[in-house]
Amino acid sequence: MDDRQLHKTPEVLPAVPTFTPQTLAIASFSFAVLFIAILVFFNRRKSSSKGNALLLVGPPDAGKTSILFSLVYRQTLPTHTSMQTNTSVLTLGEEKRTIQIVDVPGHPRIRDQFNEHMADARAIAFVVDASTVSRNGAAVAEHLHHILHALTSLPPSQTLPSLVILAHKADLLKGTSTSANSSTLAINRVKTILERELEKRRVSQSGGVGVEGLGEEGERSDMGGLECGDNASGAFKFDEWEGGEVSFVGTSVKTEKASVDDEKNPGEAGLSAFEEWLEETM
């Protein structure tokens, strides 16, 4: 009898390790967490970056296209009511930074086209004809309400565009002798009238009456965007608007051929303050 001990044949281990249901569940969960983290990271990077577009919005005949031509083409040409969006490129300051200007028509049926450009908007300029706002203040406020509602409805991940209200055609106001005085008068008039009309809309909504009759026919009555401060019953004030800071600038554009200097330097004719605001904001 052979006294040698028989060696046991070693057990052959499988080449692929065995995965238990518990191991598979942990691996799947870890992969899902990693995938979600990557998506959140890239979405935040994309959302945190601002666009470079300036949206010119406002009622018809407010002077949006005249401002566009004066800024981009350095010309003051007569214009007519636009029925389609105009897009141009403007070079700012000594740094030669370029921005896109989008002139959105103010007709009630197509003015909501500004929503198509909100993702690229870095600033919004709401243009008001200061010489006529005392007569059509309700309609102008109704249009502005749409803008305020859109701004306050943006997702938290998107950076809010800066908002400026241009008290345009300040040179047409009577009783002023200098451009500085006319700009101040235009700003005060536009701001006072819009605050009054927006307050009417806020009170009407809070009372459950709706806002029919305060603007264009068929408008929505469920819009928000008029909240101010901690006191819900307080009057609407731009300085206390919860949507952010609202700037006011008085502007004017000479649409008639007045002088060689005005044609060469349209900014001196009433857009210089707005151009300074653009250089600081864009």
61-119 pLDDT, tens digit per residue, is 999 999 999 999 888 766 677 778 999 999 998 888 899 999 999 998 899 999 999 99
Q: What angle do CA 88, 53, 164 make, to 5 degrees?
A: 110
Tens digits of residue pLDDT in 215-248: 454 455 568 889 887 655 578 999 999 999 999 9
Rounded mean pLDDT of 30-42? 65
CA dist., res. 269 & res. 13, Å (int):
88
105 neighbors 83 (Cβ within 8 angstroms): yes
**Considering the entire predicted model, what is its pTM?**
0.74
Question: Is 50-206+234-256+267-281 a domain of CATH 3.40.47.10?
Answer: no
CA dist., res. 271 & res. 194, Å (int):
22
Residue 101: in which H helix or E strand, if any?
Answer: strand 97-103
Taking residue 263's Cβ as centre, other Cβ atoms within 10 Å add up to 14
Burial level of 72, CB count in 10 A (0-12/13-18/19+)?
middle
Q: Which residue has the tokens 């018809």?
A: 60
